[in-house]
């Protein structure tokens, strides 16, 4: 009986029994939208009426016919570009504000450039003739890099041979005049840049406001299902945010966005955190989440949310504590390396990166170290730019919370329970007497 049940369960979860998604051909907009740092790839399926954009930045709209299906796991629609990816034959993209036609855009060649590769948020768009030249130029740069790598590998082999001969000569006592050590060749820096082959799209750049778009075909007729609402918005305020890396939990960083927010650090007698400053901007939560994903409706229209933008470089951090003499302590950003502690106790130790002893390994992260001692109950930090000016919005208050509370605190917290217990016992004894 058990065997039959197992077979039934196995068959029940067999992939052949899984429901195949239903494909539907739709006119969609493939999007490259500016997110404050670079460009986010997205698409607007037929069921999404609104596209969100940041004001005064170029965005690429590519209307395409593709197959769309609903994916229940993510509760969102997906595009099957491999099944169908056909550009929509259109002459113009019309942009309207109210009932007024304000722009008619022709399709333009564009290309996406990732100067630091796919692992970075930084990217920008090339348009027109620049896009036409961009991809061939990228291929030529890569070819030159390949030649540099080939030359380096040949030079390194020659260096290895020369170094072996040098070592033999240094150990050979019959050679009186020792040769100079060969110079090791320098490896070319990695080639990270990526340029996507160009394609046609519409360059949409609008000031803050509400708009509508629609496509017209080559005969001047409006293409069905091409109309969308466009909400163009901007930030409410800007500031400096921090990525907080606790020494004991460096894999679980936290954030500090609001200058009025206090950073609490829990630790033993000495605790350390590492701070990475970022430019940040505060946006309407619903709008910004909709910008990153047209199908994300989790944001609230009456809430504001901070978004970290680019790292804030070339600054000095000031620190002062309650026990300081009034002079500000100045510190700069440093590279750090995370070392796993040996032995049965699992844990990590953050040490300052030393290229001399850690050759061949890259720093784990770069940031400002803030050390807290037992007597430093409160530390105030801020950033100073290259001109010595305090960076507005960079100030934070950091408070140290001991990991183990003193016994007196636990006694004080348990006092109400003790009083309640005494009252309960007295009432119970009176009830028995009566």
Q: What are the backbone angles phi and psi of residue 129, rounded to the nearest 5°?
A: -65, -35
Find the range with the poorest average confidence among 238-252, 295-309, 397-411. Answer: 397-411
Find the range with the poorest average confidence among 2-11, 295-304, 318-327, 419-428. Answer: 2-11
Q: Is the pLDDT of residue 403 over 50?
A: yes
- The number of angstroms, rounded, from the C-alpha of 253 to the middle of its chain's C-alpha atoms is 12
**What's the pLDDT score for residue 174?**
83
**What's the pLDDT score for residue 417?**
72
**What's the pLDDT score for residue 6?**
44
Q: Is the pLDDT of residue 149 over 90?
A: yes
How far apart are alpha carbons 397 and 205 in whole angstroms? 40
Q: Element (H or E) spanning 11, and its range? A: helix 2-12
User: What is the rounded average pLDDT of the residues 281-286?
Assistant: 96
Q: What are the backbone angles phi and psi of residue 62, rounded to the nearest 5°?
A: -120, 100
DSSP 391-407: PTT--EEEEEEESS--H
Domain boundaries, the chain: 25-234, 237-403, 405-434
**What's the pLDDT score for residue 376?**
64
How far apart are alpha carbons 63 and 279 in whole angstroms? 33
Contact 228, 29 (CB under 8 A): yes
Higher pLDDT, 79 or 378: 79
- The number of angstroms, rounded, from the C-alpha of 144 to the middle of its chain's C-alpha atoms is 31
Q: Is the pLDDT of residue 188 over 80?
A: yes
Find the range with the poorest average confidence among 230-234, 331-335, 419-423. Answer: 419-423
Q: How many CA atoms lie within 13 A of 311 on its CB side?
A: 14
Find the range with the poorest average confidence among 155-159, 223-227, 365-369, 370-374. Answer: 370-374
The encoded tokens of residue 333 equal 């950003």
The encoded tokens of residue 29 equal 């907009």
Q: Is the pLDDT of residue 390 over 70?
A: yes
Q: What separation in angstroms does the CA of 43 have from each of 78, 192, 289, 384? A: 9, 26, 14, 41
User: What is the rounded average pLDDT of the residues 308-326?
Assistant: 82
**What's the pLDDT score for residue 407?**
52
How far apart are alpha carbons 309 and 118 in whole angstroms? 17
356 pLDDT band (50/70/90 cuts)? confident
How far apart are alpha carbons 64 and 89 in whole angstroms? 9
Contact 30, 64 (CB under 8 A): yes
How far apart are alpha carbons 212 and 207 in whole angstroms? 13
Higher pLDDT, 260 or 294: 294
Which tens digit of pLDDT belongs to each residue from 33-75? Answer: 999 999 999 999 999 999 999 999 999 999 999 999 999 999 9
Q: Is the pLDDT of residue 10 over 50?
A: no
148 pLDDT band (50/70/90 cuts)? very high
Which tens digit of pLDDT belongs to each residue from 104-142? Answer: 999 999 999 999 999 889 999 999 999 999 999 999 999
**What's the pLDDT score for residue 102?**
96
């Amino acid at each position: 009986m058990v065997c039959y049940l197992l077979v039934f369960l196995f068959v029940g979860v067999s992939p052949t029994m899984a429901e195949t998604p239903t494909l539907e051909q739709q006119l969609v907009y493939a999007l490259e939208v500016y997110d404050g740092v670079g460009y986010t790839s997205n698409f607007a399926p037929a069921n999404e009426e609104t596209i969100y954009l940041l004001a005064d930045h170029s965005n690429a709209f590519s209307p395409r016919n593709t197959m769309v299906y609903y994916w229940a796991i993510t509760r969102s629609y997906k595009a099957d570009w491999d099944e169908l990816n056909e550009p929509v034959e259109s002459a113009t993209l019309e942009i309207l504000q109210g009932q007024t036609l304000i722009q008619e855009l022709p399709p333009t060649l564009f290309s996406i450039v990732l100067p630091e590769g796919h692992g970075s948020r930084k990217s920008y768009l090339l348009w027109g003739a620049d896009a036409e030249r961009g991809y061939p130029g990228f291929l030529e740069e890569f070819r030159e890099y390949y030649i540099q790598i080939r030359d380096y590998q040949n030079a390194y082999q020659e260096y290895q041979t020369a170094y072996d001969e040098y070592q033999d000569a240094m150990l050979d006592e019959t050679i009186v005049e020792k040769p100079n050590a060969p110079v090791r060749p320098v490896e070319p820096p990695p080639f990270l840049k990526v340029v996507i082959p160009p394609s046609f799209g519409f360059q949409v750049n609008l000031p803050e406001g509400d708009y509508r778009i629609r496509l017209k075909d080559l005969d001047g007729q409006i293409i069905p299902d091409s109309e969308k609402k466009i909400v163009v918005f901007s930030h409410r305020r800007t500031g400096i945010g921090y990525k907080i890396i606790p020494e004991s939990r460096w894999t679980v960083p936290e954030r500090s966005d609001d200058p009025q927010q206090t950073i609490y650090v829990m630790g033993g007698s000495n605790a350390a955190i590492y701070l990475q400053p970022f430019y940040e901007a505060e946006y309407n939560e619903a709008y910004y989440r909709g910008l990153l994903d047209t199908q994300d409706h989790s944001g609230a229209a009456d809430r504001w949310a901070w978004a970290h933008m680019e790292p804030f470089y070339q600054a000095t951090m000031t620190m002062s504590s309650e026990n300081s003499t009034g002079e500000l302590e100045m510190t700069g950003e440093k590279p750090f390396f995370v070392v796993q502690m040996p032995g049965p106790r699992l844990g990590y130790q953050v040490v300052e990166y030393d290229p001399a002893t850690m050759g061949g390994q890259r720093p784990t992260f770069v940031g400002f170290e803030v050390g807290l001692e037992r007597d430093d109950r409160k530390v105030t930090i801020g950033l100073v730019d290259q001109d010595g000016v305090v960076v507005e919005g960079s100030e934070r208050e950091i408070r140290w919370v001991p990991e183990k509370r003193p016994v007196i605190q636990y006694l004080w917290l348990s006092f109400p329970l003790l009083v309640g217990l005494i009252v309960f016992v007295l009432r119970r004894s009176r009830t028995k007497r009566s």
